[in-house]
Amino acid sequence: MIDTDACREIIQTYVKHGWLLRRVLLTAKLRKSLGEASDELFGDVPLRNSDIDAAWFSRPPQHGEIAWEIRHLSETPYALLEYANEKAGDFEKKLHEVETRLMKTCSKK
């Protein structure tokens, strides 16, 4: 399981490259492991209980829709990228579909 320092490093790397942490999905196990450190790590970013540990990042578009990337919070780097319009009616559905793909892929490993 990933630790606090590794989570911090992932977030700092994304921020360094112009990404903004937008949402965090945590299993009960990782949430318990991080304890109070989750406040420092994630600030006021929405946390959601999940079957997978992952963080959603976004960055302003160069052209068109906003780039959203979901990064599996694990020692092995794995992420999926999606372009989405936050104002579209299917925005949440689109992100949920990407989360499902991430869960399926990571559960096969």
Whole-model pTM: value is 0.93
Tally Cβ neighbours within 10 Å of residue 56: 22
Average per-residue pLDDT for the chain:
93
Query: Which uninterrupted H or E stretch holds 38?
Result: helix 37-42
Which of 57, 61, 86 minimizes the C-alpha distance to 71? Answer: 57
For the chain, the domains span 4-108
Strand segments, DSSP code E, in the chain are 20-26, 47-49, 54-59, 66-72, 79-84
pLDDT of 99 higher than 80: yes
Distance CA 63, CA 98 (A): 21
